[in-house]
Amino acid sequence: MLDNSYSTRTHVNAQLDADVVGQKVTLAGWVGRRRDHGGLIFIDLRDRSGIAQLVFDPQHAAASGVEAFHAAETVRPEWVITVTGLVRPRPDSAVNPHLPTGAIEILVETLTVLNRANTPPFEIADGIETDEALRLRWRYLDIRRPEMTKILELRSAVTAAVRTALSARGFLEIETPILTKATPEGARDFIVPARLAPGKFYALPQSPQLFKQLTMVAGLERYYQIARCFRDEDLRADRQPEFTQIDIELSFATADDIMRLTEDLMHAVMALVGTALPDPLPRISWHDAMNRYGSDRPDTRFGLTLVDLSEYVQHSDFKVFASVVAQGGVVKAVNAKGAGDWARSKFDSLNQLALDLGAKGLAWIAFPSDGGVKSPIAKFFSEEEMAAIRQAAGVEAGDTIFFCAGDLDLSNEVLGAVRLRLAEELGIERRGFDALWVTDFPLFVRDKETGRWTANHHPFTRPFDEDLSLLESEPGSVGSYSYDLVLNGYEVGGGTLRIHDADLQLRILEILGHDKQAAEEQFGFLLEALRFGAPPHGGIALGLDRLIMILAGRDSIRDVIAFPKTSSGADLMTAAPAPVTDRALKDLGIKPDV
């Protein structure tokens, strides 16, 4: 909490209560609302801690009261002032129960204007309906709004709680380089020209992954960092080009150990918002998450789980379904309870969503509340088949089943997106905080464009010991010691056990398309380090921005970062990115664009 130490103030606004009635205080802050009632002037003085009501009465304290009153007549919103006055109780009729300081007011004796202010481009108040671009252009004014200030206070409290908890458990806070070497870890790097080495470049770190592993090789055993990370990728509401993660690594630990440590941290964090999570958190395997929810970051605050109906439709007269099953595909569905009386336009909208995700369409059977059946495909199913479908999907009058047929992975992905859209359309409440672990991810996934194997988490993830013999022959069947922390349908943390054997690490890199020479060129320093007695180790990274976004109940991480970028990567306040001079480019050995 803000206090008045090291300050010209005697108090901050939040410290004013009945205990200080009768005392003379000195306050400072910004002018909020100003109300002139003729013989009296009222000003809401705002500082970071809250609001205090100032009263200016020309009849008070003779000359000083008159002087303060006349000064108050001139001040305007957002001027910075300091006042001295007497704390007194408000009249009963004027008490504001919604304000922490609503039972008192300050009868001002002196007022000093510390700085004037231009008229702000929007009201400095909570709940304003102002274009986000305008707020970002004047971000320092946006942050003055109490709701934004509270978010940054929460962010600070979370990082303090994490530091306290990790320090108490023997972790060392260690900074890793910002200027480093470009390595192919997934996303595109931000590249920085090196003036002292013409033609060569640094990269900004996508994460401290390799360096934190090196701290384990160095024998430090327990590392953490509130780390800045940089990725040059397309942006969205929960992604920024620069972001912050709570980065953790420890030696001689199992996946269970790391998950328990993370749960301890989360319990400390959730206490800051006055809630608790289950202890321990539930766990679900990646395969189960995909099959039941169509997502590896499922929001389990509501049902609408996926069901496999392949066995019930494989012999039906609906050839689309029958042929898909015959060719090794699946027919999966989700029962939208309460959607049986929807208009056709909503079905068409969901079908378009499926098409956009790569499916050939989204079939449906509606069961209106009057007990009938409505669907262009219902006629292709016998009574027995329809009864089996209804029983397997838990259908009641008033429901609609949505089907997706085809490849298992694509069907899961499509119905996972449909499930989320249905929750919105059905107005399903999703309140509170729901956390779980998703574990045991496949080590590799196929790149949809190239068909090559890529790392599911990153190239340094340790495969299951029992799957090592499958690495070259069946890469898609290899599991990994991996675990993602999911909160309210968002991945807020991801971690793995790491490869601590150089030969195994080289095998993995080769499967990912790096021959031995290329692997040594790109990752030689890591492979070399692993040959010097690397201990078994693992860790996790928690996305601080995304975590605060969820805790604060916001829809965008831009709201929880002090000075964020837009969805196009622009800083509207400083006008970055911006051109640099030809001289600066020449110094870097870069030819100006002519």
- Is the pLDDT score of 444 beyond 80? yes
What pLDDT shows up at residue 61?
54
Helices (H), 178-245: 209-217
Report helix, strand and coil shares of the chain as percent, to nearest 5: 35, 25, 40
What pLDDT shows up at residue 185?
63
Give the model confidence (pLDDT) of 451-489 as tens digits: 899 999 999 999 999 999 999 999 999 999 999 999 999
Residue count (the chain): 594
The residue-averaged pLDDT of 367-393 equals 95
Give the model confidence (pLDDT) of 113-129 as tens digits: 999 999 999 999 999 99
The full set of domains in the chain, from first to last, is 13-115 (2.40.50.140), 150-283+535-594 (3.30.930.10), 302-429 (3.30.1360.30), 441-480+501-533 (no CATH)
Question: What is the percentage of the chain residues whose pLDDT exceeds 90?
Answer: 87
Q: Which residues contact 102 (CB under 8 A, 6 or more apart)?
A: 90, 95, 96
Reduce the secondary structure of 521-557 to three states and give it as a string: HHHHHHHHHHCCCCCCEEEEEEEHHHHHHHHCCCCCH
Give the model confidence (pLDDT) of 410-432 as tens digits: 999 999 999 999 999 999 999 89
Residue 142, amino acid: D
User: What is the distance between the terminal CA atoms of the chain, rounded to a whole angstrom?
Assistant: 54
Give the integer Cα–Cα distance in Å for 109 and 83: 7
What pLDDT shows up at residue 448?
81
| Pairing between β-strand 104-115 and β-strand 330-337 as defined by DSSP bridges | unpaired
The residue-averaged pLDDT of 363-374 equals 94
Residue 175: name the closest of 221, 217, 227, 219 by CA. Answer: 227
Per-residue pLDDT band for 186 (boundaries 50, 70, 90) equals low
What pLDDT shows up at residue 373?
94
Using an 8 Å Cβ cutoff, are 256 and 283 in contact? Answer: no
Of 75-79, 202-206, 238-242, 296-300, the poorest mean pLDDT is in: 238-242
What pLDDT shows up at residue 17?
92
Q: What is the mean pLDDT of the chain?
A: 94
In the numeric block, the tokens 């027995």 are attached to 384
Give the integer Cα–Cα distance in Å for 573 and 258: 40
Per-residue pLDDT band for 149 (boundaries 50, 70, 90) equals very high
What pLDDT shows up at residue 67?
87
Give the model confidence (pLDDT) of 256-292 as tens digits: 999 999 999 999 999 999 999 999 999 999 999 999 9
Question: What is the percentage of the chain residues whose pLDDT exceeds 70?
Answer: 99
Using an 8 Å Cβ cutoff, are 414 and 405 in contact? Answer: no
Any idea what the Cα angle at residue 22 is, between residues 18 and 28, rounded to 5°? 80
Give the integer Cα–Cα distance in Å for 520 and 102: 67
Give the integer Cα–Cα distance in Å for 594 and 591: 9
